[in-house]
Amino acid sequence: MDEQTFRRLSPDAVAGRLDEATYRSWKAAAAQDPERAAFVVRVAEADARISGAQPAVMPRAETPTRVPKVRALGLAVLFALLGLLAGGLVMNSYLRNRGNQPTAAAGNAPEASPVARQDTPAVNRDAPAINAEAPPIKEPEPQPEPEPETQPETQPEPQPLPAGLLLVSVEGDVSVRTARDQSWRRLAVNEAVPEGATINQRKGAARFESPAVSIYPHGAFQFELIDGVIRFQQGRFSVRVRDGQAFSCYKENWELERGSFVAEPKTLGGDLWLAEGDALFRNQAGIQVIKPGVRVTLDAARHVTRLTPQQILAHQLETLQPYERLLWWDGESPESTPAFCELAEPGALGDGRAMAHKSGQAGIGVSPSTSVFTAPDRARMRMHVNTSARKLRLELRVQLDEGYRVVDGMIDVPGSGWQVVDVPLDVLRAGRFRAENGWLPGRVYSALQIAPAVDPDDPLTRHPLQIDNLLVYQPR
């Protein structure tokens, strides 16, 4: 081996070509001078010839082979053609695989965006590997199809709508159809009546409620709800209004802010018995206010006739239907007159007698030993009231296991003159200075007393009080 060859060789290139002892000597000499390293190898060869041992393995420097430029250019063109051919095969396989994929059902999974499709190209497993060092292409993991949500079959909760009605209870089949869907379908219990609907029932009993109005049809009926207006078409309806509602029948349109009436539409007109509240009639001729206690024809002629007190009271009680009577005081008989009162004429509706607060007595009512009713769940008290006081105090005595307890509550009076008040008896509290509920269903109540409440602004004024047609009832 000549010196020039040893000078070109690095220690790492000579490693493994000499025996171990000679390689260490050569490496130490090569660090100082290449010529000295060659001398170390020659000494090792001479020792081997004299001793007859295996000569040191000499490294052979291989001179790199030079490739002609023409041949290199041809090889580059060949590899470029092979790359284009492989790319075409991969694209062809990608298009075939995409065409064979099944189409997803609408609404199950959204279509991937173009950016997402570029990031996850298809892979052709049959195509040969072109670049062994290229990172492997990950196939998109299959996404599970979303399972359809299962809605529990529950009865809809009552949700009264200001612009609609709510079916509270029903016996029989009540049908409904809308302007969009003219086919009749059954109206479910507690289902809100949609705007633009027509409601029909041939037999059975139904009751409709909203925050503004209560409707009690009698027998077969049909009515519409158009633009918030209740249009009566067939049947007989008992209606109570709490917060402003518009009505229509044939060619007549009216509004009631608060009160009650009975309506009976016919083919060309109908009748309306106005029991409570002022009715505001509107038509092309103008506006007419009609006072309660009258019958109005709904035939565009609008004839008004006065009702008798008995008819007025009968229609007022009809608008409470259905209900269970628990107590009745009207002062017309000993059975309907409390012990603590005096009688006055006329009564609230213009005839008969009313019950008046007698001087020296706590109020209008009965003795502590007189039981009046056993409390149900949802009892109410309704009566005609004539007083100058702004509030009335209602007092009763309830029998408990440990004895009796006096309970009381306050009743607001809407105005002067004869007024109708209708309040739930759960206004009762367990005494004047106790916040516990005083209405206990299932318990016996006695000693009912009604008196004007003391006015904090004018505590020395004594207010007169008359009541008539007192009814304690339980709505069904």
Cα–Cα dist 150/405, whole Å: 52
Position 107, amino acid: G
Whether the CB-CB separation of 375 and 407 falls below 8 Å is answered with no
Cα–Cα dist 44/34, whole Å: 16
Amino acid 116: pLDDT: 41
Helix, strand and coil in the chain, % to nearest 5:
20, 35, 45
Domain locations in the chain as residue ranges: 3-51, 165-318, 323-475
Amino acid 136: pLDDT: 55
What count of Cα atoms within 13 Å lies in the side-chain half-sphere of residue 318?
20
Amino acid 170: pLDDT: 82
Spatial neighbors of 201 by CB under 8 A, at least 6 apart, are: 172, 173, 174, 175, 217, 220, 221, 222
- Say what angle helices 20-30 and 34-51 make with each other, to 10 degrees: 160
Short-list 382, 390, 408, CA closest to 453 = 390
Tell me, yes or no, if the pTM score tops 0.85.
Answer: no
Strands 364-365 and 371-374: unpaired
Cα–Cα dist 60/41, whole Å: 13
**Same fold yes or no, 165-318 and 323-475:** yes
Strands 229-241 and 245-249: parallel
Task: Specify the CATH architecture of the domain 165-318.
Answer: Sandwich (2.60)
Amino acid 317: pLDDT: 93
Taking the chain (476 residues) in runs of 10, the rounded mean pLDDT of each run is 52 58 71 64 60 50 55 74 74 64 44 43 46 52 55 45 68 86 88 90 88 91 93 95 93 93 94 95 86 93 94 93 92 95 94 94 94 94 96 94 92 92 92 81 96 90 95 92
Task: Specify the CATH architecture of the domain 323-475.
Answer: Sandwich (2.60)
Amino acid 68: pLDDT: 65
Amino acid 27: pLDDT: 72
Token pair for 83: 């790359």
